[in-house]
Amino acid sequence: MVIQKINYYEDLFSVKDKVVIVSGASRGIGLELASNFHAAGAKVVGIARTKKINNVKFNYQSIDVRNKSSFEKLCTKINNEFKKIDVLINCAGITISPTDVKFDEKYFENIINTNLSSVYNTCMIVAKHCNENGSIINFSSIASYLGFPNNPAYVSSKGGLSALTRSLALDFAKYNIRVNNIVPGYIHTSMTDESYRNQSLNEERRKKMIIDRWGNVKDIVGGAIFLASDASSYITGSDLVIDGGWTIKGL
């Protein structure tokens, strides 16, 4: 009897030929994820508001995730071409420094609309096109667990997103679509660059971590591939915390 060799682990964690949408793909974590999923053999469509980005190999489209109609048209186009959507990664998000704006309704609504309402819309739209055994990965924050000062809209948006993920995990189970959160800690991106470059702020944040360094965008890739692949087929409504140990550190 000939026993066929099976590359079990490669197959288990494979995203090859999966059709993947990544929002926030013009920079930071989103760009890193879109590039690495493409390198791993996925058919990636990355979207962001930036009109054009150079030197990327994945399919990039300039779309504002807050524009429900534009996103719906994109999903219809992708579904017509590939006959499926396997994975949605909601990585788009904004924060506004309290020193830059006056705390008012527009400030609050802008962040809620981008970080929470638009995610609800993209999830609902993709669910109509998503392949059975699909995966939706939302990007929350340790701000969904902890209180952080002077940024109530951002903290509220991420707390709401965490709850939304659990709710949709239940609602989408009948479609065999899993919904999970990745919860990053302090990752060095353009959003956190100001505090990263400030020596005292950098040190203050680093001391909160068990792993004695700030995270970088590459630290997120493995977790995202895990949640997109069959390796996580029995995981839904969960948080994957990638924070260097910030949220569990005691003394």
Q: Residue count of the chain, please give it.
A: 251
Going by C-alpha positions, the residue among 216, 202, 100, 205 that lies closest to residue 154 is 100
- Active-site annotation holder among 60, 154, 186, 196: 154
Active site residue 175: no
Contact 167, 123 (CB under 8 A): no
CA dihedral 19, 121, 236, 230 (to 10 degrees): 0
Going by C-alpha positions, the residue among 104, 19, 30 that lies closest to residue 65 is 30
- DSSP string over 95-137: ---TTTS--SHHHHHHHHIIIIIHHHHHHHHHHHHEEEEEEEE
* Beta-sheet pairing, 59-62 with 85-90: unpaired
Question: Which residues does the annotation mark as catalytic?
Answer: 154
